[in-house]
Structures are given as structure tokens and as C-alpha cells.
Amino acid sequence: MYKHKPSKAIANKDFIFGIHAIIEAIDAGKQPDKILIQVGISNPLIQQLKQKLKQNDWVYQQVPIEKLNSITTKNHQGAIAFITEIEFENLSNIIARVFENGRHPFILILDRVTDVRNFGAIARTAVCAGVDALVIPSRGAAQINADAVKTSAGALHKLAVCKVNDLKQEIQFLKNSGLQIVACTEKTNQLHFDVAYTQPTAIIMGAEDTGISPEFLKLSDVKVRIPMSGLIDSLNVSVSAAIVMYEAVRQRNTLK
């Protein structure tokens, strides 16, 4: 019979290593931001971990042992979990609650924004702008760790964050719920201040290097760009997000 080794202590405040330690953390109500499991590993305890992840609809990444060893040199037993400092929320519940309160939802979607500091800065602006929820994918998103919380100036503890397994499905859900999907991209001539944000709206911001995924651009109702002049043709994603969010704030405030 397989016998697991004793639970390992947390070697870093952002991650837990050791299969049994991860299971204990999940049972204690901790939410993983990202879970890495060694490719090809198979034993009763790892199957138990995978079952718990499946029950909670949490995804994991299969990686070579070298990846795990680069994170910790201690006995990780083939599994490492990065633990988030916040509690993720359900997007459908948020949309229902906002509509029930007689307001138009204001949602921000981040597609493959992986830089922790950009993510934290965006979260801080989102709270100040009154965004109802920040939506990120389970894979290809910045880790919500201590650095992200610090960069956000604590805003991540005040902002509803929804981590979803299928971002395309969630965008379609928002469309079906009556939200217009506004994609911020350079692949358009329409400027960001020529769009009405006073209606229920979800804004998509993409990765700095590749922008918004083509499949999400196709789902968008409106494509907008920020006017640029000079020798540099793009802004930092956190700055771009702030500009578009505050255009929405400006328009919405004129209705009050």
C-alpha cells in the first residue's frame, strides 16, 4: 500500500508542496491559484488529490519534474500548489446581484495578462472605478500572490475576482445576460471614447505582446482603441485599462 510521507511545511508563503499538505489545505478551505502536478506520476494519493480538484472544478497543469524542482528543492512529492490570498467568486451570482440592485454591471476581463504588477495595478484601478468583477482565466493569468496584493494596495481584498475555466463560455454568458462586450485592441478605427459604456458592459483587455485572443475578438460587440501619437505605439496594459475604465466612469457619472 502506498504510504505518503508526513506533510511538509510551507516553504514559501505563496505555495505549498507535498501531496498530503495540498489536500489538507484544500480541506481547510484554501483556494489554489495554480496547481502543478508532475507529468506521468500515479499513485493513490495523487489520484485522491486529482479527485478533489475535479470535485471543486479546479484545473491543474501537468509539468515535468524539472519545473517542480526549480520551484523548491525539497520533497514536493510531484505536486505544488500556489495558494491565493483571496476568495474567488461566482460570476453569475455577481451579475444577478448587480441587476437585482438596479444597476448596470461593469465587468473587466483580462485575457492572458500574466505580469503580477500589471495585474495588481489593474485591480487597484478597478476598485477605484467601481468595477463589479474582475474575470481571469484559470490558465494564462497572473498569480494572485503577495506581490499582486501589495501592488494593488490591498484592492484585491475589496474586489470580486472570478477565475474561470472557460473564458469563452463566460464571455458568451455575459452576452446572453445583456452585456455589451467591448474589446480594447489596435485592430480598429473606433476610439474608446466613442462608445457608450452607460449600458451593461464588459471590457476585455489582452496581453501586451499579443493582445486579445482572436476568438474573443470575434465575440466582442465593439472594438475600440486608445488614440496614440508619437514614437511609441502602445501603452502598458494597466495604463490602457485605466484609461478605458475611467471613460466608462465619466460617462456613467453624467447620468447621476
Alpha-helical (H) ranges within 12-73 are 19-27, 44-55, 65-71
Which residues face 183 on adjacent strands? Answer: 204, 223
What is the average pLDDT across 124-147? 93
Reduced to 3 states, what is the DSSP secondary structure of residue 232?
coil
28 pLDDT band, cuts 50/70/90, is confident
> Quick one: which of 245, 180, 155, 167 has its CA closest to 212?
167
8 pLDDT band, cuts 50/70/90, is very low
Mean pLDDT of the chain: 89
User: What is the CATH code for 15-83?
Assistant: 3.30.1330.30
User: By percentage, how much of the chain surpasses pLDDT 90?
Assistant: 66
- The domains of the chain are located at 15-83, 91-253
Task: Report the CATH fold assignment for 91-253.
Answer: Alpha/beta knot (3.40.1280)
206 pLDDT band, cuts 50/70/90, is very high
What is the average pLDDT across 193-208? 95
What is the average pLDDT across 22-44? 87
**Positive or negative, the Cα torsion across 19, 21, 24, 28?**
negative
Cβ 137 vs Cβ 213: under 8 Å: no
pTM (global) more than 0.95:
no
pLDDT at 232 over 60: yes
> Quick one: which of 156, 119, 157, 158 has its CA closest to 137?
119
Contacts of 183 (CB under 8 A, 6+ apart): 203, 204, 206, 212, 216, 217, 220, 222, 223, 224
135 pLDDT band, cuts 50/70/90, is very high
What is the average pLDDT across 50-70? 90
User: By percentage, how much of the chain surpasses pLDDT 70?
Assistant: 95
Give the pLDDT of residue 55: 86
Total H helices, total E strands in the chain: 9, 10
Instruction: Give the tens place of pLDDT for each residue, 91-122.
Output: 999 999 999 999 999 999 999 999 999 999 99
Contacts of 252 (CB under 8 A, 6+ apart): 104, 106, 197, 198
Measured between alpha carbons, how far is 188 from 197 in angstroms, rounded to an integer? 18
